[in-house]
Chain A
C-alpha cells in the first residue's frame, strides 16, 4: 500500500522544473560510501492483510480476564462519546497550535483542560499536558530544585516504585541527594519525615492514595515541609479527587499524576497523560505548553500558547524542560470525559469506586486465611495478606479467569504474601463475589 498521489507524468514534470533527470540525482549529496549496507524489510502488504495480521496478534492478548489489577493504572469505563469526539480528525490530524488563528478549537480545548485540572486539584495553574505520571513527577521535582536552589529530595516510599525508579534514572548524572522514608502499617511515617527534613530539602513527595491504597490527610506533614522552606508535591489519582481532600486543601504546592483514569484506554501502557497543577507563584517554572486567554484586535476572546519564554524552542539549554510534543490528544480525552460526567457524574464515579472497594474488602475478609489490611482508610484499592505467596495465587487465579491483583512482593522486599486489589466502577457485585469464591478455592 502507498499513499502517494503522483503519476509518472507528475514526476517527470516536477523533475524537469527542478532541472534534474532522475530522482536519484536529488540524493547525490549522499556519498556512495554512505548508502545503506542493508535495508532488508518485508514487501508491501495490503490494508486487508495488515489488518488481518494485527487482528490475529490482538487475539493473542487476554483481555477477557475480570480485572482487579490497578497499581496506578485503572480499568475504568469510557463513554462512547469520548471516542466519537476524539475521533474527529480536525483534532487528531492537527499539531501543536503554533498558529492560533487556525487552531482556536485546540487552544480552547486545552484551556478548558487546564481549567478542569485546576478544579480537580484545587490549585491555581496547569499546563497543556506532560507524557505520563512518572515524567510529570520528574518535572515537578526539577521545578522544586530550581525554585529552592537546593538539592535534597525526600521521597515517601508509598510513591509508586516505578516513579521512584524513574527519578533515580533521570538523575544519574545530576548531584541530587535522595532520602526515602518508610511506610509503616501502610501509612507515611511522620517521625521519619521529621528526622530528615531540613533547610537543604527542596521537596517532599507523597502519593495519595499511596501505592498500598491508603488514604491519608497530609496537612500536618505539608505544614512541617513548608516550615523548612521546601515544596510539597503530591502524586494524585484524579478519579479519587471526586471524593478525597484536594492537594490544595492539604497545602501542596504542586500536584501531578497519571491522567489515564480520565477516559484513556489502558492500551498496554500508553499513550497516557501526565497532568500537573501548581500554585500560581510557580507558573514560570512550569514545563511545556501553556494556553492563555487574550483578545484579538477587535476585542474578541481568543486563545494562544503563552509564557513561551520558559520553553526549549526559545530558551534552548536554559529552558525549564526539554518537552516539545506532549499528550494533547489524551488531554482532550480527559476534558471530554470530565465534561460528560459533569460535577455530579464525577462525584458518582468516585462514590461507586469507593463503595465497590469497601464491599470487596468486606467480602474478602470473610475468607479464612485472608487478612484485609485496615490500618488506614482506602479509596478503590487495598492490600490483603494471603496465607501463601501472592505470585502463586495470582497464577492460579488467572486459570479461573481473574487478574486478581498486583503482588506487592514484586516491588517491596518482604511483602511476598501481600496482594494489592483494585476495584473500579466496572466491577459488579457478582464479579466481586466470584472473586472471593475463586480465591477461597485456590488458597
Chain B
C-alpha cells in the first residue's frame, strides 16, 4: 500500500478548527518560530479513513485469527470494557484534578477504581500492597528492581548481583542491568528445572534478588519453587516473581504464599485488556510487607469517612516512577474484567487455559520434539529440530501457518530450546479452533518429511512474501522522505 504521505494532494483538508473567535494577537517573534514547515500530508477525511481501514485489514488479530503467541496470552478481549473506558467521566478526567486543593472530591470514582483494583490484585497474588504506576510488564520489573535496591540500601547494604534463569524473558536481565545490577544467569538442567547446584553456587550475600518466572517460560511449574525461594531468603536476597504467566495460576497458587517479595502482573495478558499492536499494557507491582514503605508515591488511601484520597506521606518511598497513577484506562478495563468473571470465572480461566495447552501438547507430541516431556501449564514448548533436519525450521513453520490463517506461536524463545515453538492457546479458544490448528501443525510435520519445499516457500497467500530483514538492518530506512 502507498504511504499516507504518498497520497498527499495539495489543497486537500481533512479537518478544520474553523475561524478562531479571538484572532488578532501579535504573532510570536520570528526567532522563536519554526522556519521549516513540517511536511505533513494533506488529505480528505475519507482518504485518511480509507487508508487506515485498509491498513487494519492487513493485520492478524485475536478478533480475526487464532493467535497462540506464547508468553503473550492473546485471549479474547471482551468488548464491554472498551465502552466503560470511553465513559466521559473517565476518559475526560484530567490527572492533576485530585492534586488541586479541594480537587480530591472531583475524582472519587476514579480513585475508588484504583483503590479497589489494588485490593483485588493483592488478594489474587497474596501480596500486601500494590503500586499501579508501572506502565507495562517490563516497567514493572524495573520498578521492582528499584524497590529491591531501595530495600538493601536502607539496610545499609550495597549488593551487586541479580540472579535470573537462562529461560527468563529478556526483560529480566535487561531490567536488572538498567537499574545498576550485574546479572548472573543460572542454567536450566536436563530435567527442565532450574539447575539447583549452579543456583546454590551463585547464591551468596552479594545477591540482591532472584528473579523467577512461575510457571516458567517452558510452561512448567517447578514443584521445588518453595525450596528455591527459601534458599534465596536464607542469604538475605529478595525474590521477584515475573507475573507474565500468572494466567495459569489464578486461584491455584499465589506468589505471596510461596514467599515472593515482589510480583508484577501484566494486566493486558492475565486480565484481557487489548494488546494494541504492542501496547499499551500495564504492569502493577505487588510487594510483601517489608517493602510496602518503599512503594512509589502517590498512593490511594481510603479515609475514615469512606472517601478516597492521594497520600504522599511515605518518607522512604522511591518517589515517582510514572507521572500519575499508571495506565488508568488499562487498569479500568482489567478491573471490569475481574468483576465480570468473579472468583469462579478467574479459576475457570486458569483451568481451561491449562487444559487447552495440555490438549495441544498431547495431540502434537507425536509429531514434534518435546524437549521437556512434563505436564505443562498455560503453554507448551515444542522444538522443530526433527523438521529442521529436513530444512524446515521454526521460521518456515511460522510462515506456513500464516498462509493458513493462523498467527504463529512464539518462535526461537525460550532461547534454551533449539527451534522453539511456544504455543499458548488461552482459555477462550474452543476445541474446534484448537483441532483445526493442531491438524495444520500435523500437516506441516508430514510436509516436512515428504515435501519440505511446500513449507519453506511460504507464505504465498499474503500480500507480501518474506521480507529482506538483512537489508532492513544494513541500510536502515526508518522514515518517509520526499
Contact = CB atoms under 8 A, between A and B. Distances in A.
A37 B55 contact: no
Given A75-B94, A325-B137, A41 B17 contact: no
A18 B347 CA distance: 20
B467 interface: yes
Interface string A270-299: 111000000000010000011111111110
A44 B329 contact: no
A325 B281 contact: yes
B110 A61 contact: yes
B359 A14 contact: yes
B41 A343 contact: yes
Interface stretch (B196-204, B231-239, B423-431, B440-448): B423-431
A169 interface: yes
A69 B96 contact: yes
B255 to A, nearest CB: 10
Given A292-B477, A324-B171, A62 B106 contact: yes
B128 to A, nearest CB: 13
Given A60-B109, A322-B178, A342-B13, A394 B100 contact: yes
A335 B480 CA distance: 13
Contacts of B330: 270-271
Contacts of B257: 34-37
B466 to A, nearest CB: 6
The interface size bin for chain A is: 35 or more
A358 interface: yes
Given A10-B430, A43-B343, A112-B4, A61 B43 contact: no
Interface string A328-354: 111010011011111111111101101
A318 interface: yes
B245 to A, nearest CB: 13
Contacts of B177: 317-319, 322
Which of A92, A126, A128, A355 has the largest count of B CB atoms less than 10 A from its CB?
A92
Contacts of B326: 269-270
Contacts of A37: 126, 254, 257
A312 interface: yes
Contact of B42 (A42, A272, A344, A432): A344
Interface in A56-112: 56-63, 65, 67, 69, 71-73, 75, 77, 79, 81, 83-85, 87-106, 108-112
Given A43-B343, A246-B36, A172 B149 contact: yes
A142 B60 CA distance: 35
A169 B136 contact: no
Contacts of A323: 136, 138-139
Contacts of A303: 467
Contacts of B342: 41-45
Contacts of A17: 359, 362-363
B279 A105 contact: no
A414 interface: no
B388 interface: no
B465 A172 contact: no
Given A215-B28, A302-B467, A342-B41, A34 B345 contact: no
B191 interface: no
A389 to B, nearest CB: 9
B141 interface: yes
B12 interface: yes
A265 interface: yes
A339 B4 contact: yes
B153 interface: yes
B340 A50 contact: yes
B88 A63 contact: yes
A11 B338 CA distance: 23
Contacts of A351: 20
Interface in B1-57: 1, 3-5, 12-17, 20-26, 28-29, 31-43, 45, 48-49, 51-57
Contacts of A429: 21-22
B61 A325 contact: no
Given A131-B139, A174-B180, A307-B476, A296 B101 contact: no
Contacts of B362: 17-19
Contacts of A354: 25, 28
A103 to B, nearest CB: 5
B108 interface: yes
B463 A104 contact: yes
Interface stretch (A192-200, A222-230, A364-372, A402-410): A402-410
Contacts of B48: 81, 85, 336, 339-340
A119 B325 CA distance: 31
A35 to B, nearest CB: 7
Interface in B285-323: 296, 318-323
B5 A112 contact: yes
Contacts of B356: 14
B447 to A, nearest CB: 18
A53 B477 contact: no
Contact of A41 (B53, B336, B346, B477): B346
A249 B56 CA distance: 35
Contacts of B252: 27, 30, 35-36
B123 interface: yes
Interface string B211-247: 0000000001111011000000000000000000000
A323 B345 CA distance: 32
A91 B61 contact: yes
Nearest to A360: B22
15 contacts: A2-B345, A4-B427, A34-B257, A47-B78, A89-B64, A99-B399, A105-B54, A166-B323, A172-B150, A216-B32, A272-B327, A292-B472, A295-B467, A311-B170, A323-B139
Given A271-B327, A339-B52, A355-B24, 5 more contacts: A30-B252, A292-B473, A294-B468, A304-B467, A324-B171
Going nearest first, the 4 A-B pairs with the smallest beta carbon separation are A58-B89, A269-B324, A329-B276, A44-B342
